[in-house]
């Protein structure tokens, strides 16, 4: 598929449909591909890559790219299109400045899971079959593709692109898809006592180094200036001062993306400390589904959002106290 | 003098150290390993090659109070935070992390001496472990660091059932003295084979042969003005992860936290990747992310060596290589600027 994508991108550059291409550039370790702009067919030929290590969601980059002169071609995986749509809905991206190629996806791999399986000194990863074949300085290793999938891919929203100009390689491999109920872990946490739940989050959030990777990678975090970056605020975005600050940052962030978070999984993918941030967001999604009816952010660009719309059927604020009592 | 202790009895060694001094070592918590104070319950993890955060926190914590002021009946009082006055041991550092402390020393121990840092350094004993299974992201060799013989106060090796222990400095010898009843004399040669093995793996690592000459031979302004920065910085999300996991990043911010009747003045790590970095009353001198991105790498590869006799302020630990959400890192910068080996 990589070849097909590359060829099509070249065509669109040459016939001047687009002036730049936003895709992924081959990394030097076989798994560390980076988001990149390509301005010429030669650059594409040399560096363009598309494989199971293209986890980075390019929608976030479209906020900046969309402001530039001329059209940008962007490659979006099915889950990335939800983020893109949500940004369209919030008027953060100009659709007319974008040409979207929806790309087929069989799931993306988590290098940390590969390393956690004891595979070290990686020289290359061959992810073609059902088994990953990993060449390392300590010899060849193998592990099942499925076991190295990113958390987000275990909760895949399906293989359908929500927005695109054309599709390449989509629907070819149907094997990926939801591997279980994405709310299972949330339900488990809900069933704990408040003390146990608090202990769980304390232990996870105490690892936070306030690096802001979760916020900066998040497509829903699109504020021009985050409140935590303000120097008028008696708090500091980079100080890992105390437990209160750690919690406050994450709780405010989770509230701010509630109803807008598409569950794209970028926050958890990028966190250097492996904090399962997606669980906070999924708790909100689950509650929204229960209280306001099923809703998937980014599914479309025109529906009314549950938290910014009012209906007579809306839950009353008292619901918080009622549910909290349980 | 080489000593050894059965690895199964390391708990006793830790307890013996902790009786006399604070002991920091790699501890696994919620599935991630970072340096933390040893307790009987702590899940010590010496197998993970690199902690997520470096041991830098032990000497230069991410946030620390400098002083408190308060106003009482019209009288202002200023209370400086107490300096570290208790000996502590940092066990399980890596050779790269030890070199990183030297990088920090150059900055913080030069005039004007940073008293908070100096007090911690004075009370610290560094115990480092050789890296028996280096990873592909490691490139310490490029900076002349020997992962098989860490230059700490005490170097250790894990071979077979034993942990070998060798003091290299006076501080190290004093620590050996404290725990001597747990150590038994051993042959120097016991670790030689392991060292050869480590060095041969290091040689095979993909980044071990990077060349840094370009940063020494090219005029500073030519590097600064290179077109390559513009293409390299683009995927950078300006998150600051690279700076916070880096053992040598040393920039900090000073801020005030309003308390009931005064302020608590504290400092916290800063990141050149942040938009408010070096913000002053007149504004900010680096106005674009390209300039901020360039700052990080020019500092490590050009400005710092220019100030400190050619010593680089990267030690090749590879933390930024494995943690950047956009897969950018100093290695890609070195290669793009012409340092491919
Ligand atoms: S990415 Fe992880 S460590 Fe960084 S601020 Fe977010 S939660 Fe904290
Ligand atoms: S970790 Fe990567 S994305 Fe974040 S500031 Fe550093 S270079 Fe930029
Ligand atoms: S720049 Fe990267 S590799 Fe170098 S010392 Fe810092 S974190 Fe380690
Ligand atoms: S960079 Fe070198 S010293 Fe540091 S962990 Fe890797 S092998 Fe060990």
Å from CA of A58 to ligand 1 middle: 20
Both tokens assigned to B28: 């696994």
Identity of the residue in A123, A211, A272 whose CB atom sits nearest the CB atom of B206? A123
DSSP run (H or E) holding A127? none
Residues B120 and B13 placed together within one structural domain of the fold: yes
Flag if A238 and B274 touch (Cβ within 8 Å). Answer: yes
Query: What's the average model confidence in pLDDT over A119-137?
Result: 94
| Cis preceding-peptide flag for A265 (omega within 30 of 0) | no
Cα–Cα distance measured from residue A123 to residue B136, given in angstroms and rounded to the nearest whole number: 7
Q: What is the pLDDT of residues A10-31, one digit of tens each?
A: 999 999 999 999 999 999 999 9
CB B334 near ligand 3, within 6 Å: no
Residues A159 and A10 placed together within one structural domain of the fold: yes
Out of B204, B231, B263, a domain closes at B204
Cα–Cα distance measured from residue B185 to residue B5, given in angstroms and rounded to the nearest whole number: 9
Flag if A238 and B136 touch (Cβ within 8 Å). Answer: no
Flag if B266 and A34 touch (Cβ within 8 Å). Answer: no
Q: Which residue has the higher pLDDT, A251 or B276?
A: A251
CB B315 near ligand 3, within 6 Å: yes
Residues A128 and A89 placed together within one structural domain of the fold: no
Cα–Cα distance measured from residue A104 to residue A161, given in angstroms and rounded to the nearest whole number: 9
Ligand nearest to the CA of B128: 4
Contact in structure between B237 and A217 (CB atoms under 8 Å): yes
Q: Which domain holds residue A95?
A: 1-108+155-180
- Which residue has the CA at smallest separation from atom 6 of ligand 2? B242
For B143, other C-beta atoms within 10 Å of its C-beta total: 19
Cα–Cα distance measured from residue A255 to residue A313, given in angstroms and rounded to the nearest whole number: 22
Q: Which residues of B touch A34 (CB under 8 A)?
A: 235, 326-328, 332
User: Based on the structure, what is the number of domains in chain B?
Assistant: 2
Flag if A121 and B134 touch (Cβ within 8 Å). Answer: yes
Residues A171 and A251 placed together within one structural domain of the fold: no
Residue of A nearest to B332 (CA): A28
The pLDDT score that the predictor gives to residue B123 is 98
CB B8 near ligand 2, within 6 Å: no
Å from CA of B271 to ligand 3 middle: 13
Contact in structure between B128 and B154 (CB atoms under 8 Å): yes
Cα torsion through A210, A214, A218, A223, rounded to 10? 0
Choosing from A203, A269, A271, A281 the residue with most ligand 1 atoms within 8 A of its CB, the one to mutate for a pocket test is A271
Residues A296 and A321 placed together within one structural domain of the fold: yes
* Strand pairing report for A166-168 and A98-103: parallel
Cα A284–chain centre separation: 16
Lowest pLDDT segment from A120-124, A246-250, B74-78, B193-197: A246-250
Residue of A nearest to B139 (CA): A121
Out of B173, B204, B235, a domain closes at B204
Q: Which domain holds residue B273?
A: 213-337
Residues B194 and B236 placed together within one structural domain of the fold: no
Q: What is the pLDDT of residues A50-82, one digit of tens each?
A: 999 999 999 999 999 999 999 999 999 999 999
Residues B84 and B185 placed together within one structural domain of the fold: yes
B341 has pLDDT over 70: no
Question: Which atom of ligand 1 is found nearest the CA of A213?
Answer: 1
Which phi and psi (to 5°) does residue B227 adopt? -70, -20
Q: Which residues of B touch A234 (CB under 8 A)?
A: 257-258
Query: What's the average model confidence in pLDDT over A144-172?
Result: 92
Flag if B274 and A123 touch (Cβ within 8 Å). Answer: no
Q: Which residues of A touch B255 (CB under 8 A)?
A: 236, 239
Closest CA to A108 of B317, B28, B327: B327
Residues B63 and B117 placed together within one structural domain of the fold: yes
Residues B34 and B53 placed together within one structural domain of the fold: yes
Smallest Cα distance from B220 to chain A, Å: 27
- Which residue has the CA at smallest separation from atom 4 of ligand 2? B239
pLDDT above 70 covers what percent of chain B? 100
Confidence of residue A128 (pLDDT cuts 50, 70, 90): confident
Query: What's the average model confidence in pLDDT over A161-174?
Result: 85
Cα–Cα distance measured from residue B96 to residue B300, given in angstroms and rounded to the nearest whole number: 15
Both tokens assigned to B339: 């340092």
Out of B177, B204, B231, a domain closes at B204
Query: What's the average model confidence in pLDDT over A291-301?
Result: 92
Flag if A121 and B62 touch (Cβ within 8 Å). Answer: no
């Amino acid at each position: 598929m990589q070849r097909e994508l590359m060829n099509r991108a070249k065509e669109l550059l040459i016939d001047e449909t687009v002036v730049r291409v936003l895709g992924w550039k081959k990394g030097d370790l076989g798994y560390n591909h980076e988001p990149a702009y390509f301005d010429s067919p030669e650059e594409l030929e040399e560096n363009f890559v598309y494989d199971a290590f293209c986890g980075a969601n390019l929608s976030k980059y479209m906020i900046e790219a969309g402001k530039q002169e001329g059209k940008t071609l962007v490659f979006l995986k099915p889950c990335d299109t939800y983020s893109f749509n949500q940004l369209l809905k919030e008027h953060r991206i100009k659709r007319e400045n974008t040409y979207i190629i929806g790309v087929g996806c069989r799931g993306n791999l988590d290098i940390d899971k590969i390393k956690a399986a004891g595979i070290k000194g990686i020289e290359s990863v061959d992810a073609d079959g059902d088994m990953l074949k990993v060449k390392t300085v300590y010899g060849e290793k193998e592990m099942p593709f499925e076991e190295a999938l990113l958390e987000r891919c275990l909760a895949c929203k399906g293989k359908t692109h929500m927005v695109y100009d054309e599709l390449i390689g989509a629907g070819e491999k149907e094997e990926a898809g939801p591997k279980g109920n994405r709310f299972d872990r949330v339900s488990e946490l809900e069933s704990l006592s408040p003390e146990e739940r608090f202990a769980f989050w304390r232990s996870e959030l105490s690892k936070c180094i306030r690096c802001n990777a979760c916020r900066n990678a998040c497509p829903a975090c699109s504020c021009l200036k985050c409140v935590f970056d303000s120097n008028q605020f008696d708090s500091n975005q980079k100080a890992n001062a105390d437990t209160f600050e750690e919690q406050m940052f994450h709780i405010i962030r989770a509230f701010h993306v509630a109803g807008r978070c598409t569950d794209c999984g970028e926050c958890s993918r990028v966190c250097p400390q492996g904090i399962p941030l997606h669980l906070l967001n999924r708790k909100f999604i689950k509650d929204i589904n229960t209280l306001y009816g099923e809703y998937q952010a980014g599914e479309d660009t025109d529906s009314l959002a549950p938290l910014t719309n009012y209906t007579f059927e809306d839950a009353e604020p008292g619901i918080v106290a009622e549910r909290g009592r349980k | 003098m080489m000593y050894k202790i059965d690895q199964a009895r390391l708990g006793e060694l830790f307890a013996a150290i902790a009786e006399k001094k604070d002991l920091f070592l790699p501890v696994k918590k919620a599935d991630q390993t970072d340096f933390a104070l040893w307790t009987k319950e702590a899940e010590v993890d010496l197998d993970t090659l690199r902690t997520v955060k470096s041991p830098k926190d032990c000497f230069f914590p991410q946030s620390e109070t400098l002083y408190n002021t308060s106003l009482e009946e019209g009288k202002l009082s200023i209370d400086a935070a107490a300096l570290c006055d208790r000996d502590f041991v940092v066990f399980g550092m890596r050779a790269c992390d030890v070199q990183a402390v030297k990088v920090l020393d150059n900055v913080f121990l030069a005039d004007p001496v940073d008293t908070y840092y100096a007090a911690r350094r004075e009370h610290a004993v560094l115990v480092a472990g050789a890296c028996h299974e280096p990873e592909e992201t490691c490139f310490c060799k490029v900076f002349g660091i020997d992962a098989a013989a860490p230059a700490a106060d005490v170097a250790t090796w894990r071979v077979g059932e034993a942990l070998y222990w060798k003091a290299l400095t006076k501080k190290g010898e004093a620590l050996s003295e404290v725990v001597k009843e747990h150590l038994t004399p051993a042959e120097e040669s016991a670790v030689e084979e392991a060292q050869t093995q480590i060095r041969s793996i290091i040689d095979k690592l993909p980044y071990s042969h990077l060349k840094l000459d370009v940063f020494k031979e090219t005029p500073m302004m030519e590097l600064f003005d290179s077109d390559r920065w513009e293409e390299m910085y683009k995927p950078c999300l300006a998150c600051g992860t690279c700076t916070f996991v880096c053992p040598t990043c040393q920039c900090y911010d000073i801020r005030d936290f309003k308390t009931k009747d005064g302020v608590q003045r504290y400092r916290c790590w800063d990141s050149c990747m942040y938009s408010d970095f070096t913000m002053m009353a007149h504004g900010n001198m680096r106005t674009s992310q390209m300039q901020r991105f360039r700052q990080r790498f020019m500092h490590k590869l050009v400005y710092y060596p220019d100030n400190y006799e050619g010593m680089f302020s990267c030690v090749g630990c590879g933390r930024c290589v494995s943690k950047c959400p956009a897969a950018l890192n100093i290695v890609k910068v070195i290669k793009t600027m012409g340092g491919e080996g």
